Copies of this chain bind each other. A is one copy, B any other.
Amino acid sequence: MWKDIFIKRGCLKLNLTKVYENLRNEISLKLSEKRFHHSLNVEIEAIELSKLYGSDEEKTKVAAIAHDLAKAFSDDELIKMAQKYSIKIDEIQYNFPQLLHGSVAAHICSDRFGISDLDILNAITYHTTGRKNMSLLDKIIYLADVIETGRYFPGVEEIRKIALKDIDNALILACNSTLIYLTKENYLIHPLTIEFRNSLLLKGGNIYEK
């Protein structure tokens, strides 16, 4: 999908510092104070992880500040935006449209802020569900979103500690925590989240030993 969009528009090399400023300004206007603050915290956490694991810091800043750009939209608005951007809506997303806020944010980043970097767009798209075989930037944004300093839930301290040493194990714990919450609350679970967790466990290679 992104390839068609970029070909249509022509790819430009953007000044990511300027893009970051525009995005930060936009979310300060469009998101609640609480969510704006969360976005800044995610950026701080993502930069720390970036320094530890070696992702591109400028891309990390942009993906982090933009990840919740579409979070203030209602369910109906998300469905309409997804239709506008020709995003394929699956049965789970149709019934739980908040799952679309990542994809919609990525399309707004491409459409209105000129971002054509696939690493950034994917990290924003998959920051809630995860996906199979995530890139380093995907992992950093997903994890930063879960463990930023404003988050409080049972086990978060352990995940923060492990995040300093082993990003994949921290991600498994973060994903487990989300899964247990979704399960207990009788929420739908997106198949991508299971593919994400399974791919991390399989990479770890210790399945037979369990």
Contact = CB atoms under 8 A, between A and B. Distances in A.
Interface on chain A toward B: helix, strand, loop, or mixed SS?
A: helix
A95 B207 CA distance: 7
Interface in A47-97: 75, 91-92, 95-96
Contact of A179 (B75, B183, B195): B183
Nearest to A96: B207
B197 A189 contact: yes
27 contacts: A91-B198, A91-B202, A95-B208, A96-B207, A172-B186, A176-B183, A176-B186, A179-B179, A179-B183, A180-B183, A180-B184, A183-B183, A185-B210, A186-B210, A187-B201, A187-B207, A187-B210, A188-B198, A188-B201, A188-B202, A188-B207, A189-B194, A189-B197, A189-B198, A191-B194, A191-B195, A194-B194
B187 A176 contact: no
Interface residues of A, number: 26
A58 B81 CA distance: 53
A194 B92 CA distance: 11
A197 B198 CA distance: 17
Interface string A105-134: 000000000000000000000000000000
